[in-house]
Amino acid sequence: MKSTGPTTGLRFLVLGSAAGGGLPQWNCNCSNCAAARDPSSGLQPQTQSSLAVSIDGETWAIFNASPDIRQQIQQTPHLHPKALRHSPIQSVVITNADVDHIGGLLTIREKQAFSLFSTAAIGSVLDASPVFRVLDPDFVARKTIRLDEDFSPLDGLEARIFAVPGKVALFLEDGEPELGLEGEQTIGVEFVANGKRAYYIPGCATLPDWLCERISGADLVFFDGTVFTDDEMIRVGTGIKTGQRMGHMPITGDDAGGGGSLEALSKLGIGRMVYVHINNTNPIWRQGPERDAVTEAGFEVGHDGMEIELA
Residues that bind Mn ion (CB under 5 A): 20, 98, 100
* DSSP character at residue 87: -
When CB distances are held under 5 to 8 angstroms depending on the partner's kind, the choice from Zn ion, ligand MLT, Mn ion, none that residue 246 binds is: ligand MLT
Least distance from Mn ion to the Cβ atom of residue 203, Å: 6
The interface region with ligand MLT, picked from 37-45, 94-102, 131-139, 179-187 by CB under 6 A, is 94-102
- Name which of 253, 271, 146, 171 is nearest 205 in CA terms: 253
The interface region with Zn ion, picked from 77-85, 156-164, 206-214, 277-285 by CB under 5 A, is 277-285
- Name which of 110, 102, 109 is nearest 129 in CA terms: 102
d(Cα 274, Cα 200) in Å, to the nearest integer?
Answer: 10
Using CB under 6 A as the binding rule, the residues of this chain from 219 to 248 that contact ligand MLT are 246-247
Angle CA 291–76–54, to nearest 5: 90
Nearest CB to ligand MLT, comparing residues 196 and 241: 241
Q: Phi first, then psi: what are they for 196, rounded to 5°?
A: -105, 150
Per-residue binding string, Zn ion, 16-55, x by CB under 5 A, is ------------x-x--x----------------------
When CB distances are held under 5 to 8 angstroms depending on the partner's kind, the choice from Zn ion, Mn ion, ligand MLT, none that residue 30 binds is: Zn ion
Least distance from ligand MLT to the Cβ atom of residue 85, Å: 32
Which of 106, 170, 234, 297 contacts ligand MLT by CB under 6 A?
A: 170
The interface region with Zn ion, picked from 104-112, 280-288, 290-298, 302-310 by CB under 5 A, is 280-288
Least distance from ligand MLT to the Cβ atom of residue 243, Å: 9
Q: Is 179 in the site for ligand MLT (CB under 6 A)?
A: no
Residue 147, number of CB atoms within 10 A of its CB: 15
Burial class (CB in 10 A: 0-12, 13-18, 19+), 196: middle
Could you check whether the bond before residue 39 is cis, i.e. omega within 30 degrees of 0? Answer: no
d(Cα 161, Cα 190) in Å, to the nearest integer?
Answer: 6
When CB distances are held under 5 to 8 angstroms depending on the partner's kind, the choice from Zn ion, Mn ion, ligand MLT, none that residue 294 binds is: none
The interface region with ligand MLT, picked from 86-94, 96-104, 176-184, 301-309 by CB under 6 A, is 96-104
Q: Is 203 in the site for ligand MLT (CB under 6 A)?
A: yes
Q: Is 280 in the site for Zn ion (CB under 5 A)?
A: yes
Contact (Cβ atoms closer than 8 angstroms) between residue 61 and residue 91: yes
Give Cα 277 to chain centroid, integer Å: 6
d(Cα 45, Cα 17) in Å, to the nearest integer?
Answer: 10
Contacts 24+ apart (CB under 8 A), 132-137: 132/102, 132/105, 132/106, 134/106, 134/109, 135/105, 135/108, 135/109, 136/109, 136/111
Q: Tell me the residue nearest to ligand MLT as measured from the CB.
A: 20
Which of 56, 68, 98, 184 contacts ligand MLT by CB under 6 A?
A: 98
Chain contacts with Zn ion (rule: CB under 5 A): 28, 30, 33, 280
Chain contacts with ligand MLT (rule: CB under 6 A): 19-20, 98-100, 170, 203, 246-247
